[in-house]
Amino acid sequence: GAVVSQHPSRVICKSGTSVKIECRSLDFQATTMFWYRQFPKQSLMLMATSNEGSKATYEQGVEKDKFLINHASLTLSTLTVTSAHPEDSSFYICSARVRQFSYEQYFGPGTRLTVT
Amino acid sequence: AQKVTQAQTEISVVEKEDVTLDCVYETRDTTYYLFWYKQPPSGELVFLIRRNSFDEQNEISGRYSWNFQKSTSSFNFTITASQVVDSAVYFCALSEGLIYNQGGKLIFGQGTELSVKP
Is A44 within 8 Å of B33 when comparing Cβ atoms? no
Looking at residue A30, its amino acid is: A
- Residue A27 distance to chain B (closest CA, Å): 18
Asked if the C-beta of B64 comes within 8 angstroms of chain A's C-beta atoms, the answer is no
| pLDDT tens, chain A, 116 aa long | 689 999 999 999 999 999 999 999 998 888 889 999 999 989 999 999 988 888 899 999 999 999 999 988 889 999 999 999 999 999 999 999 876 656 678 899 999 999 99
Query: What are the distances in angstroms from CA B106 to CA A9, A43, A58, A75, B15?
Result: 23, 12, 14, 20, 32
CB A42 within 8 A of CB A91: no
Is A109 within 8 Å of B42 when comparing Cβ atoms? yes
The CA-CA-CA angle for residues A51, A49, A112, to 5°, reads 115
Q: Which of residues 75-104 of B touch A (CB under 8 A)?
A: 91, 95, 98, 102-104
Interatomic CA distance for residues B95 and B105, integer angstroms: 6
Interatomic CA distance for residues B8 and B6, integer angstroms: 6
Interatomic CA distance for residues B99 and B85, integer angstroms: 39
Interatomic CA distance for residues A79 and B99, integer angstroms: 28
The CA-CA-CA angle for residues B6, B10, B15, to 5°, reads 120
The CA-CA-CA angle for residues A61, A65, A68, to 5°, reads 100
**Residue-wise over B30-60: b if at least 16 C-beta within 10 A, else e?**
eebbbbbbbbeeeebbeebbebebeeeeeee
Count of CB atoms situated within 10 Å of the CB of A54: 8
Asked if the C-beta of A5 comes within 8 angstroms of chain B's C-beta atoms, the answer is no
Is A103 within 8 Å of B33 when comparing Cβ atoms? yes
Tens digit of pLDDT for each residue in B83-109?
Answer: 999 999 999 999 886 655 566 788 999
Is B102 within 8 Å of A101 when comparing Cβ atoms? yes
- Residue B106 distance to chain A (closest CA, Å): 8
Chain A partners within 8 Å of B107 (Cβ): 46
